[in-house]
Amino acid sequence: MAVNLLDFDLEGLTAFCSTLGEKRFRAVQLFRWIHQRGVADFDTMSDLAKSLRAKLASSAVVQGLPLISEHVSADGTIKWLFDVGQGNAVETVYIPEADRGTLCVSSQAGCAVGCRFCSTGHQGFSRNLGTGEITAQLWFAEHRLRARNAAAAGIGPVPRQIDNVVMMGMGEPLQNYNALVPALRTMLDDHGYGLSRRRVTVSTSGVVPMIDRLREDCPVALAVSLHAPDDALRDNLVPLNRKYPIDELLQACSRYLEKAPRDFITFEYCMLDGVNDSPEHARALLRLLQGRVACKLNLIPFNPFPASGLKRSPRERVQAFAQVLQDAGIVTTVRKTRGDDIDAACGQLAGEVQDRTQVQDRMARLRQVIPIAATAAGPLPSVAGSPP
């Protein structure tokens, strides 16, 4: 069976080329053709020896993911749906901004964490993506955008289109660690996409042992899905908290900063009406974070979907929450919602997942803990546990 070269970072490709009797510089040339130029046809790789091209033609392929659909938002956001086999499909989102282009990449078909407010989690989990399936999302998007923009401008090659990669698509990246790290290394490699460690972000719901491993193996920017100021509430919003509670998570974040490319951790906080958005919650968050971890807060407007039973916090309450944090000196931003008209905004990615995890039963149990009616009735002291 032919080997898909998208499965390899440069070291892996070097090892593969060695099995063909080729030296490292040939692997570098090949890596550049694939990732810098987006070429999949070995015959087009003109500076490779014909003998190597023949070996590659008989033993390897550069195989991206089959594209199912493309949707373009009114704000320019693009969502691609890719077929990953066996009835599963994953979504990738490109977000254009004035000073950069950001790609939101998926790491799993579905997600096993089951966060209450996440559409992906409500679909359950099928399997991890391979390294090549993760890398293929960037490979496709970068070169698709280059070709499209060059054609639109009527010019030759255009500059790099994607400056920022965030592992914030479908799945929990750190639960697919062995496939994730080679993909990250390809993104960072100067012979590949040449992205800065500051411009590649792994978002996690808090897999503490893997945060420590990432610190040693490939420290990129880290974003942590916090969403609550105490264990009682976070247990119900982010079930992984029952295994790795907040105190352990914050200790891991503090250790991560020793080698992180940024001098802060980003904490993401999805604003849920009547659940975690009161001034009391904001003050509890201050008591939790101040003096423990250098951080900034990213408040995320909840993107509702029917199965969640949750509602978006009113804008005025989000601003009041942010003001409490800002007045105490914590850098706090409110994420601008992008692509919600094509279900491409944060928490909306769902794709198609052949669930193996009985997710509907788990979500039903969560709805009993945080009932639908309660979200419209104000804070829930029985689970929030945050004193005024």
Active site residues: 91, 346
Per DSSP, which regions of 73-150 are E strands? 78-85, 88-96, 101-104, 108-110, 125-128
| Residue whose C-alpha is closest to residue 206's, from 232, 183, 239, 169 | 239
Q: How far apart are CA 100 and CA 334, in angstroms?
A: 18
The burial class, CB within 10 Å (0-12 / 13-18 / 19+), for 321 is buried
Q: How far apart are CA 179 and CA 4, in angstroms?
A: 14
- Are β-strands 295-301 and 332-334 bridged in parallel, bridged antiparallel, or unpaired? parallel
| Residue whose C-alpha is closest to residue 344's, from 66, 129, 96 | 96
How far, in whole angstroms, is CA 143 from its chain's centroid?
A: 20
Q: What is the dihedral of CA 103, 109, 110, 113, to 10 degrees?
A: -90
Longest pairwise C-alpha distance within the chain: 73
Helix, strand and coil content of the chain, in percent to the nearest 5, comes to 45, 20, 40
Number of C-beta neighbours around residue 138 at 10 A: 22
